[in-house]
Amino acid sequence: NAQSPIQADSKPIAGVKGSFSERTFIAVKPDGVQRGLVAKVIARFEERGYKLVGLKAIVPSKELAEEHYGDLKSKPFFGGLVDYMTNGKAPVVAMVWEGKDVIRQGRVMIGATNPLDAAPGTIRNSYCQVIGRNIVHGSDSFESAEKEISLWFGKAGELIDWTSANEQWILS
Ligand code: ADP
């Protein structure tokens, strides 16, 4: 189903035996955009062999940011977090990446929420220092990937199904 935000049943990637596809929502947050780190984040996913199926720069509405971070509503930093995401000092670069185990792998590649706890080699360890400016977001579960993809890329045609010529080399 081309419009499905996520391939829920891990459908095989066309033409590649034994491979499975899922999608996750990854975003470079405004501090990452200001700091010129968009390409670095994209490169991590591209070079690993994941496939970009959606990309846009957007200043999210307050409603969108509040919904995105809905589970943190009661936290003392919630107001500041929503303001930082929405104040337009820089956009959010929102993306959907597809590939094998990409939801879990995306989290591993990004590293711990607090950059001081992030393992060497992870994005947060490589590029940031404090929890409130940790430059990148990644869905933390299948359910949040599904919710976040439809929240940020809900309009028809925003996600592109395409076949990467690399898939057969990466996956078999
Ligand atoms: P993650 O982004 O790793 O999934 P959470 O969902 O727990 O982490 O938090 C969402 C975002 O809220 C974090 O990435 C960070 O930007 C911000 N945040 C989390 N904890 C704090 C905190 N104690 N102080 C300020 N900002 C925080």
SS3 of 117-161: the string is: HCCCCCHHHHHCCCHHHCCEEECCCHHHHHHHHHHHCCCCCCCCC
Going by CA atoms, what residue is nearest to atom 8 of ligand 1? 113
For the question of whether the overall pTM of this predicted structure is more than 0.95, the answer is no
ipTM: 0.99
Evaluate: CB of 113 within 6 angstroms of ligand 1. Answer: yes
Separation CA 67–CA 76 (nearest Å) = 16
Mean pLDDT by 10 residues, the chain (172 residues): 43 51 96 98 98 98 98 98 98 97 96 98 98 98 95 96 91 86
Separation CA 22–CA 103 (nearest Å) = 7
The string of pLDDT tens digits covering residues 123-137 is 999 999 999 999 999
Pair 27, 57: CB distance under 8 Å: no
